[in-house]
């Protein structure tokens, strides 16, 4: 099996997708992101020491610039990886249905267009595109349909994967959409799952889902204390302490039989005062949580940087650059490396 496949990474962020590519033995030779902090994070980590790292707006970077910067790395087999920032597709919106040959005529799909532009110009042997699962919502689905039409017109066989990070060893419920394309032929229908619900795993001698306590308990010591984690004196601190592990604010409502209810069930966002249970997987780690939005630690505090990084399956020695807010955003926006690895391995099988 040849290992001469290389990856070009767009919207690289803190490098979660890119770490997954390295785990699949496909080194990332070029990465670009518009956030300076993300590129500085990559520079701090040896895994990317041989990667050409560009801080800039993809709109301003021509495909020829990418080709020229690659030099000899442009020879041989390559894949394109990345996920356009997903905020435009996280909520319902009005979509223009007219499609054009080289892109999608929609004001909020411009970054998807940039990915497609590079895909068409660079002509890799395969690609993995990641986004939120709600991109398949009927309101947004024209984006996916147009993406597939364009990729297939460029000679790619495509596969749309609805994936949950839990299935690939990530201790977190995190649903994502992957569009995978190959100039080869897919040998199976979808990536092989590595982890399973406990009831199935125990019966069939398989690996169960990874619980959050397994990966973050070591960080619950004074050595890792952060001033940002404290909730004492805050509006809902006393309420948070009353929420049992694995529950949210609904534990303090009449719905749960709470005496003198403090809240009304289903009147708040579900992750309000949401607390982890050490013997269950985590809920989705977000990029910009509100002050009382979870998941919180079962000890009634906010999660620490090494904890959210571990929940996202970043390597233990991975270093992040920037303010606490910036680092939360970088980690929350990332594709979990273990999840990325399995998606890229699935593509790789079709290329060799």
By annotation, the residues acting in catalysis are 86
Element (H, E) at 145: helix 141-153
Kind and range of the H or E run holding 79: strand 78-82
Helix axis angle for 110-122 and 141-153, nearest 10°, is: 10
SS3 label, residue 31: strand
Q: Strands across the sheet with 126-132, in order? A: 52-55, 28-33, 6-10, 78-82, 126-132, 175-182, 157-164
Instruction: Identify the CA nearest to 292 among candidates 311, 277, 274.
Output: 274
Element of type H or E holding 305 = helix 305-311
Are 169 and 281 spatial neighbours (Cβ–Cβ below 8 Å)? Answer: no
**Residue whose C-alpha is closest to residue 15's, from 42, 34, 33, 46:** 42
As a whole number of angstroms, the distance between CA 37 and CA 209 comes to: 32
Distant-in-sequence, close-in-space partners of 102: CB < 8 Å, separation ≥ 6: 116, 117, 120, 150
d(CA 337, CA 334): 8
Distance CA 306, CA 300 (A): 17
């Amino acid at each position: 099996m040849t290992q001469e496949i290389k990856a070009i990474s767009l919207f690289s962020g803190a490098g979660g997708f890119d770490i997954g590519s390295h785990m699949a033995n496909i080194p990332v030779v070029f990465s670009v992101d518009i956030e300076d902090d993300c590129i500085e994070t990559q520079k701090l980590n040896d895994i990317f020491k041989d990667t050409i790292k560009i801080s800039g707006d993809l709109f301003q970077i021509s495909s020829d610039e990418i080709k020229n910067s690659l030099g000899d790395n442009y020879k041989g087999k390559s894949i394109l990886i990345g996920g356009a920032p997903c905020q435009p597709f996280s909520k319902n919106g009005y979509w223009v249905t007219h499609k054009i040959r080289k892109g999608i005529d929609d004001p909020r799909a411009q970054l998807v267009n940039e990915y497609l532009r590079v895909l068409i110009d660079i002509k890799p042997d395969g690609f993995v595109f990641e986004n939120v699962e709600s991109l398949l919502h009927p309101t947004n689905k024209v984006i996916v349909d147009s993406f597939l039409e364009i990729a297939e017109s460029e000679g790619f066989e495509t596969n749309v994967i609805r994936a949950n990070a839990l299935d690939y060893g990530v201790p977190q419920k995190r649903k994502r959409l992957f569009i995978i394309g190959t100039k080869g032929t897919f040998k199976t229908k979808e990536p092989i799952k590595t982890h399973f619900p406990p009831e199935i795993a125990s019966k069939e001698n398989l690996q169960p889902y990874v619980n959050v306590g397994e990966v973050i308990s070591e960080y619950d010591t004074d050595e890792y204390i952060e001033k940002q984690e404290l909730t004492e004196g805050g509006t809902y601190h006393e309420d948070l302490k009353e929420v049992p592990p694995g529950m949210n604010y609904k534990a303090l409502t009449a719905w749960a039989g709470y005496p003198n209810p403090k809240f009304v069930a289903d009147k708040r966002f579900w992750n309000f005062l949401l607390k982890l249970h050490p013997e269950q997987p985590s809920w989705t780690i977000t990029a910009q949580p509100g002050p009382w939005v979870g998941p919180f630690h079962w000890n009634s505090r906010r999660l620490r940087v090494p904890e959210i990084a571990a929940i996202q399956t970043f390597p233990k020695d991975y270093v992040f650059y920037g303010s606490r807010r910036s680092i939360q955003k970088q980690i929350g926006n990332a594709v979990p490396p273990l999840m990325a690895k399995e998606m890229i391995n699935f593509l790789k099988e079709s290329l060799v």
